């Protein structure tokens, strides 16, 4: 199920191996559907999925809109809010 979801939501950025999903995939769109609602985002924030023979890794930004650059006077709350938008995970 995860492979079908990722293959359907991402465009290959290189490294594919024939019918395998191994390689690096760039997020080019997102769709979500349930019995009660659905949405599509055809211009998502940056994201990449990495699939190896036995491992995977995901790095993506889930929030949209401009983000303020950090400054010397940036508060801890502002830094936390900026990193809340970034999702990264990996596994086997």
| pLDDT tens per residue across span 43-76 | 888 899 999 999 999 999 887 777 778 888 888 8
Question: Per-residue DSSP letters for 4-72?
Answer: HHHHHHEEEEE--BTTB--EEEEE--EEEE-SS-EEEESSPPPEEEEE-SS-EEEEEE---S--PPP-T
Residue 1 has pLDDT above 90, yes or no: no
Please give the average per-residue pLDDT across 10-32, as a whole number.
75
The predicted pLDDT at position 63 comes to 75
Average predicted confidence (pLDDT) for the chain: 80
């Amino acid at each position: 199920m995860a492979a079908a979801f990722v293959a359907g939501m991402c465009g290959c950025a290189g490294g594919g191996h024939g019918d395998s999903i191994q390689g690096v995939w760039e997020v080019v769109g997102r769709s979500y559907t349930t019995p009660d609602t659905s949405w599509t985002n055809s211009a998502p924030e940056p994201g990449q999925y990495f699939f190896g023979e036995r491992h995977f890794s995901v790095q993506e930004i889930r929030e949209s809109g401009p983000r303020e650059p950090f400054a010397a006077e940036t508060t801890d709350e502002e830094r936390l809010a900026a990193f809340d938008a970034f999702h990264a995970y990996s596994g086997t």
